[in-house]
Amino acid sequence: MSALLVSLAVVGAVVLLCELGRWAAGRYLPGARGTYLRELVSTLQLCWCASELKLLGDASGALPLHVRLTLLYVVTLVHLVTFREASCSFIPPLERVCRGESSVRAAAALVSCQLLAALAAQPAAVLVWSRGWSEVHATHRRFGYKCFDPLGGTVLEAAAAELICSFIIQAVVLHLHKLEPKLRVHALSAAITALVYAGGAISGAVLNPVLALSLQFPCSGHSYLQYMFVYWLGPTLGVASCNLLFEIILPFLCGRSSIAVETHKQKTQ
């Protein structure tokens, strides 16, 4: 329980620190520079908190399932509320470029901020762990902060899990507008929690290429190319296929169906 309290304190401190950075960005850096700083700070928060929770989960297997799921849901909810317009993943900026809503230069700047924050999150977490504030931190320090193979299945199985989970999350995002505004963030948090629970044993269900760079890429067991295949290509294809289905294929089929119905009505009149 003491390890849980320490990790919660670390997560809370990280969120408060990053929220201060977002406040400063909004107050003193209007325009694009503020947007880039908020993206960097929010991605740092996501990766740093995820590293802390991953360590707690790996080292404290005795935590009851309902405690782990509740913790994941609450922290995810906090992220979604505090991030505001920050995406913390390179998939949304690429989507906006493909839709013609953003320039390649702006997307590249956002992605650069995300990657920088993802790479900075690990040494920041190690700096905290080196203090040995909990037994979990001290044990991790004794083992040299090593991270072991995160895949519970083959590379293809893990990539398929990331693809399917990302497809489902994107489908939820595309249909969130149908819910009451105050329920949307809870629905998305619940969906993420359920998918992490369902796919966690296979790939970890990271669902975010930038987060995976911080969490999984430093781990032994597979090459960077294999991790890129699982955690970068899998989610990207999942989101792309979901957009293709719901924004192009289904509207096209519904349009063809409507035309067929109208034609039939005209022939029967």
Return d(Cα 165, Cα 194) in angstroms, integer: 10
pLDDT tens-digit profile of 34-93?
A: 999 999 999 999 999 999 999 998 876 668 888 989 999 999 999 999 998 899 999 999
Please list the rounded mean pLDDT of every run of 10 residues in the chain (269 residues): 89 97 92 94 97 86 83 96 93 94 94 97 95 92 90 95 97 95 95 94 94 94 95 97 94 73 60
- What residue ranges do the domains of the chain occupy? 1-146, 148-269
Task: Give the model's pLDDT for residue 85.
Answer: 87
pTM: 0.93
Task: Give the model's pLDDT for residue 83.
Answer: 94
Task: Give the model's pLDDT for residue 1.
Answer: 59
Neighbours of 105 (CB within 10 A): 9
Measured between alpha carbons, how far apart are the two ends of the chain, in Å?
A: 74
Task: Give the model's pLDDT for residue 264.
Answer: 54
Joined tokens for residue 74:
């609450």
Q: Is 134 exposed, middle or buried (0-12, 13-18, 19+ CB in 10 A)?
A: buried
- Locate all alpha helices (DSSP H) within the chain, ordered by sequence: 2-28, 32-59, 65-83, 91-98, 104-129, 135-142, 155-175, 181-199, 209-215, 224-228, 234-244, 250-268
Task: Give the model's pLDDT for residue 106.
Answer: 94
